[in-house]
Chain A
Amino acid sequence: EVQLVQSGAEVKKPGEPLKISCRGSGYSFSSYWIAWVRQMPGKGLEWMGIINPGDSDRRYSPSFQGRVTISADKSISTAYLQWSSLNASDSAMYFCARPVAGTFTYWGQGTLVTVSS
């Protein structure tokens, strides 16, 4: 069974760094891209970027380029989303998802990030 399991909720202060994770299981992790999607409180879904865990090739949405970094460690079947310095507007639910032929068939359960002083 394909599963994407994300790390737990985080509470951080503005200016702090953060790295959240998404571990894949039940399939060949290196063979499928992993995407990250943001959902701010009460708002819609926003695609942030995508990575190929096999060779770390990645693409970013223009809205998120330079603001976050997506990475992956195929040896432990895990993808990451990280910020070097959080601000309050980064407070959101973050989902990882595995697209196949452009379709997000599998999703993680979400990681809630709260940034507050």
Chain B
Amino acid sequence: GQQVMQIPQYQHVQEGEDFTTYCNSSTTLSNIQWYKQRPGGHPVFLIQLVKSGEVKKQKRLTFQFGEEKKNSSLHITATQTTDVGTYFCAENQGGSEKLVFGKGTKLTVNP
């Protein structure tokens, strides 16, 4: 079935540096949702993108959906230690109720 590829798998940054994770698909995505999972925790919904070229911001987080709806990115400006965790993208596969997750990007931040 369709897979959402997410890169990088790991990212280690110094506090204050920026961070970006990418999701890519070979086919058009119906939507993209982003989740964050803190160490030892469960995934928590961050945002959903539906429209081609959509850009949404949440404080230091910027989410983008590609013009062709085949890729998405999450960018964090000036990382803080509270940003530590694994960030997942996910898609309602083929517009169905089945939510397919990328493998995630694990972010660690050095204070």
**A in complex with B:** no
Interface of B with A (CB < 8 Å)?
none
